[in-house]
Amino acid sequence: MYATKNDLPEATRAKVVELLNLRLADAIDLQTQTKQAHWNVRGPNFIALHELFDKINEDVEEYVDLIAERAVQLGGSVLGTARSVAKRTTLPEYQPASDRGHDHVVAYATALASFGKVARQGIDAASEWRDADTADLFTEVSRGVDKWLWMVEAHVQTDR
């Protein structure tokens, strides 16, 4: 840990930095899965999904930066290389059944839901450690991911 005048105890900062690095791996993995869907989607809803995945990627890129910068603000270092991410991510592997839009929507919704779950776990952990700023960051991320999950899932939901 680097020296900082941040008033959170060093032990707390160290725990939060580790948590942030875990979520950073997930966020970077989510970003690459977003681009995987964006590049490979095919079918009658191609342009709508292609553009949707691109818009989502803009927000996910912002989440990556927010998470990484928070770790550094607390005196930590970030672990954001491809190799580090591959070792640390908790998201399921992105595996659409085909290049059809429906299959990408289902696969990508799984990734979004998984990331939303760990972001909410981050809220709880940061709150327990009395780091309201990190809890707030994860709240912002969770809220955004839930919005995108709703928009992605709407492509496969039908009338009841």
Does residue 143 fall inside a structural domain? yes
Band of residue 38 on the pLDDT scale cut at 50, 70, 90 = very high
* pLDDT 10s digits, 61-80: 999 999 999 999 999 999 99
Does residue 55 fall inside a structural domain? yes
Residue 96 has pLDDT above 90, yes or no: no
Contacts 24+ apart (CB under 8 A), 105-108: 105/49, 105/152, 105/153, 105/155, 105/156, 106/156, 107/37, 108/33, 108/34, 108/37, 108/53, 108/152
* Half-sphere exposure (Cβ direction) of 153: Cα atoms closer than 13 Å: 12
Does residue 159 fall inside a structural domain? no
Domain of residue 75 covers 10-153
Count of the separate structural domains present in the chain? 1
Q: DSSP per residue over 82-113, as a string?
A: HHHHHHH--SPP---SSSBHHHHHHHHHHHHH
In this prediction the pTM is 0.95
CATH number of residue 58's parent domain = 1.20.1260.10
